[in-house]
Copies of this chain bind each other. A is one copy, B any other.
């Protein structure tokens, strides 16, 4: 039984609450600090959070006092950041400088040269950037980031296709409302409707994917040589991003060859607590995956794929606030610990 002290930055929001859920019975981590905005600081978490998950708030955090988002106020070895991008931009370096490991779900530093953007099943070797980062910046701590939720769901399915010479990706997303936070989308805006626009989402998918699938040459990441074209849509689904993907590949594999590549995909991590039995679940039914039925597979950490057709076209689906956010950061931290870096 390890016990690593964990803080959560932005602990009261939609992703913050998923962090609390993921860490409250974790075998390695113990929540020692819940940090949020000035408005919440000083209150008990129970009062401040306005808990909105459909599981009860863990009793262990109910009476923790929320602290400000300030390295001096936070007692922890690692902090998980669910901060909005503008705030993360300012605060995360302060934590890294103060010696914290920062596992961030924010977009602010994902594309920075010396900051690793990691999905454990896809590019664990990019963690090598951490030394580059600490050398360059003179930090005791560091920042590690995970990608945008839509990027994660897609990239977990692209990794096993790299062997076929992946060249072009077109992806139309159908994204859940929880991706915008608890109050990010008004009911009047999305009910019986689709919003064919999500700010910056397309650009994130188009750039983050290339970094994730790129090569670490010892000092930097050489982006993958391919093109991604995304068309992002918000749909009336609570949790779970669904993606219609076209993957153009040099070797022109058949749908069956693609299916087998998905089935064989086995990233062999080191038995990390949040690692699902199958990172990629292949559904052979004609009408799966579906977000409401499949988003909780692998405790929300599995990505499901199906409808692999000529094209190559297929559907990918994953839980956006677990696999695509809080769970992704926690898995990164677990990987770091398993490698002795935490």
Contacts and interface: CB of A to CB of B under 8 A. Distances in A.
B238 A188 contact: yes
Q: Determine which residue in A190, A192, A311 has the highest number of CB atoms from chain B within 10 A of its CB, and name it.
A: A192
Contacts of A188: 14, 52, 177-178, 181-185, 238
Contact of A170 (B236, B246, B293): B246
Interface in A241-283: 242, 244, 246
Nearest to A227: B311
Contacts of A187: 177, 185-187, 189-191, 236
Given A56-B297, A231-B172, A244-B172, A237 B192 contact: yes
Contacts of A181: 188
A103 B297 CA distance: 31
A161 interface: no
Contacts of A290: 193-196
B307 A193 contact: no
Nearest to A186: B183
A56 B296 CA distance: 9
A154 B55 CA distance: 23
Interface in A288-302: 288-297
Contacts of A31: none
A130 B186 CA distance: 39
Contacts of A286: 197
Interface of A: 14, 52-56, 170, 172, 174, 177-178, 181-197, 229, 231, 233, 235-238, 242, 244, 246, 286-297, 306-307, 309-311, 313, 315
